[in-house]
Structure 1
């Protein structure tokens, strides 16, 4: 159902979910918007216009002319060792002439309400302007980095005896996705690839290579990489490591050593990793220089569903009450009781009895849920107030030791 037409700085627009009937007469205009926003050739933009499975497209529309676009993606993301339904937001663009008119708030508000009605408990996105999305209840929780590493340094790493390296391809996607999910269970925010999310298949279709590390016939690590540019050692952009997933040190060192084997023809490799990726510690340089950073933001859409769907350590036995205030969309404001027992979380709305409960802003709630920061840090940032700070370790224990990471851009 289309939303009522909001008034955006003096002019009304319609917020539409672009069904096939609504999409067809706007296809050329949508392709032009995507060309302007993402720089792709117009013909490529036209080919990418039909929404793939699992993607719903929304528009702020002015009499048949789309002024702003956003995609809603059906994802599941790992939190506390369990996959939680997530609304991924991507493809956000506003026509140059319509910027500054406040179109994104009504557009994304309707999209997120629809996502919640369809069962999404949280929402994630890669922002180009974090301030815009903070105004909608999102907060930064992690980032995907690209760091340059000298291949000469990697050449000094010795592969582990007993591991076999094999070249993999698209036919191996099921086992690659299973490996990813085994690793992702120990993180927060990573998409569940067996649910259909992720871009490894696209990378392989566009010329990337994939090498797997096997121990006793079992896949325990994979490196997705691309060789490009010239053959000479001075061509610093000739080698890219798009993804490294490893279940243990042996797999990680063997795959990093594989990159080092290019040292005679490529001076450095650009390695794409998570902000807290532990494999950086295997490098002498610790890869401190960042050549690209893709920040990631999260917000909670449905507090009881998010917590009940999330995992918790089996040894945690606790009950806390907390409040959420200041949600610009009004989705999470209220008081809640959260209980953990036997490795299961239960969360329910409660009447506001104690006015001095721990109180989270929307951004604070996102950071707590993702275990991005301790509650002590959230207090220093003004994202958590009230309650007894002495009980903050209990709140921290409920989210556990898994930390946020991201691998798949959308």
Structure 2
């Protein structure tokens, strides 16, 4: 094997990249039309690869996006399209590719990174941990037969004039969670016309002249209730009345459609209004998070409205040299400031020590301190455990876009 070279992919590398992706994820062996060099230069995706001589043997792509965490928009490096040629697997080729891609992400101000893994164990070695999941969940439309829209809430088909309101509903919902993309950047920013070309319909719930929820749905094929399925991308509701009205609208198809398949995550509050939760998970996609810049990531969010000073350290669990070290987190009425603590000893044994994965779980509010200790991702004195849990708790993890 030649010396491995890691670099950004260029337009002439696209054919090899396509072939490598086809081997990893399946697909036609007939090459898809490749973008022109001009189209490639405009792409929001940053692609990196490892080369054995002239042969591309590993690759990944990075989306520069923003995610909602702690009520704030956090710059995020979204990793996708990770692939290694079968003959080169097991040789650690992803490590230099990840190192280069994440170094660039840090330079661009992206303070966290996320990805959808096919093999989570690989990415735990880079400091990523599962914090949530993006799932396709089915329920029979018969389960919606007892759902009724409350008085004062009506539904109607959305028009293009409603798009700002639809975006506003989604933003209000997403800002209250940890994890959703803001949909501010390509390819996740949805042009107004695509709301109506990508779906059979977008139905809105309205109360007192205000749109308080919407559902984007595809009718699918056929009218045999034993086979027909309605697919839902987004069902966002800001009130229980909106949720009931939207579910009831979907349930009105029950005579010709047997099931609805909803892309969702976690314990979505829109589901809590249903009298019957006879659901089945059709597909699950775990979502992983890693912290790239501790002061930057912690300083970007708003925590619980407390005032506290918590010394901590990060070591092991995939944490690289940019993350490893001792810190002090100072919070004033929920406003955090994290700084490196150069006065700490080399082992920082005077304070709680989180692994890189444990820090990711804390940041997402996915696990309390007690569970991190049970998993080995938090060690050292437990003096601050209750405070740490309270600071990062209070928001669910949700995901609504796949990459």
TM-score (norm 2): 0.91
Is structure 2 residue 175 aligned with structure 1 residue 185?
A: yes
Distance change >3 Å, CA 198–CA 337, structure 1 → 2: same
**1:396 counterpart residue number:** 389
Q: Aligned Cα RMSD in Å?
A: 2.3
Structure 2 counterpart of 1:363: 357
Residues 194 and 160 (structure 1 numbering): CA distance in 2 closer, same or farther, change over 3 Å? farther
Partner-residue secondary structure (3-state), 1:377: helix
Q: Does 1:235 align with 2:244?
A: no
Corresponding residue for residue 3 of structure 2: 12
Q: Tell me, in whole angstroms, the C-alpha distance in 2 between the residues paired with 1:268 and 1:256.
A: 12
Candidates 71, 79, 86, aligned match of 2:69: 79
Deviation at 1:386, TM superposition (A): 0.5
Matches within 5 A, 1:301-316: 301-313=292-304, 315-316=305-306
Q: How does 1:131-280 map to 2 (within 5 A)?
A: 131-168=121-158, 172-196=162-186, 198=188, 205-236=197-228, 238-280=229-271
User: Is the counterpart of residue 35 in structure 1 residue 22 in structure 2?
Assistant: yes
CA change 1:332–1:45 in 2 (3 A) is farther
In structure 2, what is the equivalent of residue 295 of structure 1? 286
Look up the match of 2:34: 46
So what's the TM-score if we normalise by structure 1? 0.89
Comparing 333-342 with 346-355, greater Cα deviation is found at: 346-355
1:169 shift after superposition: 5.7
1:382 aligned to 2:376? yes
Equivalenced residues, count = 394
**1:190-245: CA deviations, max 9, x gaps?**
11123556375567544453212222332221111111121111114x21122211
Q: Tell me, which stretches of 5 or more residues in structure 1 are unaligned? A: 1-9
State which drifts further: 209-218 or 39-48: 39-48
Write the distance in 1 (CA, Å) between the matches of 2:73 and 2:386: 25
Q: Is the deviation greater in 32-41 or in 143-152?
A: 32-41
Measured at CA, do residues 160 and 47 of structure 1 come closer, stay the same or move farther in structure 2, by a change above 3 Å? farther
Contact conserved, 1:156 with 1:260, CA < 8 A, in 2? Answer: no
Following superposition, the deviation at residue 154 of structure 1 comes to 1.0
Q: Distance in 2 between matches of 1:82 and 1:350?
A: 25
- Do residues 115 (structure 1) and 102 (structure 2) align? no
The one-character-per-residue Cα deviations of 1:87-106 (angstroms, maximum 9, x if unpaired) are 11112122333333322121
1:156 aligns to what SS in structure 2? coil
2:326 equivalent to 1:335: yes
Q: Report how far residue 249 of structure 1 moved.
A: 0.7
Shift of 1:43: 4.8
* Distance apart, 1:312 and its partner CA: 1.8
Question: Residue 57 of structure 1 is aligned with which of 36, 42, 47?
Answer: 47
Query: Does residue 340 of structure 2 align to residue 349 of structure 1?
Result: yes
Matches within 5 A, 1:312-327: 312-313=303-304, 315-326=305-316, 327=318
5+ unaligned residues in a row in structure 2: which ranges? none
Flag the 1:164–1:64 CA change in 2: closer, same or farther, 3 A. farther
